[in-house]
Each structure stands twice: as C-alpha cells, then as structure tokens.
Amino acid sequence: MISSAGSGLVAKLQEICGTDCINTFSGARLRANGMGTMSMMWPILDSNRQTLDYTREDIMPALDGKAFVCACLNANDPLKDMRMVLQECKDMGVQSVSNIGPSISYVDHDSEIFRVMTSAGITIEHEIDMLKLAKEEMDMVSIGLAFTLGDSIAICEQAKPHIFCYHAGTTKGGLKGYDSGMTIEETAEQTEYAYQKCREVHPDVILIAHGAAMEQPADAQYMLDHTSGHGFWTGSSTERLPIERAVAKAVSEFASLRFSQ
C-alpha cells in the first residue's frame, strides 16, 4: 500500500496504521491546504521545491522508518537538474521517486493545451528519463505512474520501473473530488487491461491501482479481488476525505452545544 501525505500528522498516522510507502508531492501539500490535487498543474508554486521542502521539514521528522518515502517530482522542470534533485532526496533519506508531481500524463491528450505543452518540450520522455536515472544510476526505487494506456506502456517499456501505478482518474468524493461517473467495476476493468499491456513489455513490474471510483476501503478490496495487481495507492481517500469527515463531524458537534438552562 502506497499513501499520499500532505502533512506530518497524516504521514505519522499512515505509518502507524501500516502503510508501506508514503509519497510526498505538491498536490498532497495543496490538498492539506484545502485545494484540489489539480491545483499543482497551475503556476502557483515551484512544485519540486515545495515537495523537497515539506518532505524535509514536515514528513521526514514525523516518521519512525517503518514506511519508506517516495518523492513525486516534476521531471519537466526546465530550471532543475534532475540528478541534483534526486541527490537532494537521497541526502534527506528519501530512497524512492515517482514522476507524478505533476505529470504531463494528467493532461487530456486530445486537447489543445496538451499539444502546446508538448511542442514546448514538456513531454513524457523527460519523466521516463528521470525514472531511468533514478533506477539505473542513483540506486533508487522507481515508481512510474500514468493516466493513459499509451503513457503506461511507454513508461513500463522504456523506464522499467520497480513499481507502476495505473491512475484511472481523479478520486471522487468530498469537497474537492471529481466524479467522472466511472463505477468501481469499470475502474477495475480499465485497470486490469492496462496491467496486462504493461506486463507484455515489463513482466517483472509490481502493479498497483489508484483513483477514479476507488474511494472507500470496500472499493480497494474490489480492486484487489477483480484485478491481477499487487496493491493500491491511496491519495485523497486516506488523507483529504477522512480529514473532511472527522473535522466536520467534530466541529458540528461542538458548534451545536448550548448553555444548559
């Protein structure tokens, strides 16, 4: 199980409760501040610097070492030498990296903005190169992620990551979730098809699922039972959504109190 954490408290609780890997990325940090994950796609912050800083200051001090940390990085940052960024991760004790922070795979490939971005040099190839660098030269655990079948196959075939996550879409539910209408059955079917295609080019890859209708533990159990993957990646479902529910319930109970007659 991989879980995203946007704060040290969430990371600590995830580790205590048994998650295997805690991933940090600017989207999770923004979620902790009440914004949606996709906020990281806009130029409101230096995504890599945000991830490196809060991983060092908030996440690493909160953990006891039972879970390993994966930093999700923006490999398309033109102002960063990714070898130096990966070394900074290793220096703080982070031994794993993913290409999700953010990824061009998020962007609808049939859109004008995707064509503009790729023509400007923001490509999946840079993400593949970073994953290869991390695995082959930096001795790090590489975790690939993609939203589309084509990107999934390209990452698995060229980067050969240790772990690959097929992202079926933004997680629904809560204040900032997005419901595409996809059912958990459709999520599992689409994910399993991606798994089979990825195994054709990278038979040894560890495969995990994420997103779309996988909102509740029962949904994740359905994915385990109806796909051939090895686990799942939780984001909003184990940080944003539980926080929204717990805080709303507690505050509502306190706010409803009245002076006794």
Q: What is the pLDDT of residues 119-160, one digit of tens each?
A: 999 999 999 999 999 999 999 999 999 999 999 999 999 999
User: Number of folded domains in the chain?
Assistant: 1
**Span 162-168, average pLDDT:** 96
Highest average pLDDT, of 46-55, 107-116, 194-203, comes from 194-203
| Residue 89 maps to a domain | yes
- Under 8 Å CB-to-CB from 117, ≥6 apart: which residues? 104, 107
Q: What is the reported pLDDT for 220? A: 94
Q: How confident is the model at residue 212, as a pLDDT?
A: 80
Residue 260 lies in a domain: no
Domain residues for the domain of 81 are 2-255
Give the end-to-end CA distance of the chain in Å, rounded to a whole number. Answer: 51
Question: What are the distances in angstroms from CA 122 to CA 86, 115, 125, 164, 221?
Answer: 19, 10, 8, 21, 36
261 in a domain, yes or no? no
200 pLDDT more than 60:
yes
Average pLDDT rounded to a whole number, residues 204-216: 91
CATH of the domain at 93: 3.20.20.70
Label residue 211 by pLDDT band (50, 70, 90).
confident
Instruction: Classify strands 68-72 and 163-167 as parallel, antiparallel or unpaired.
Output: unpaired
Which of 24-28, 160-164, 206-210 bottoms out in mean pLDDT, i.e. has the lowest? 24-28
In a domain, 76, yes or no: yes
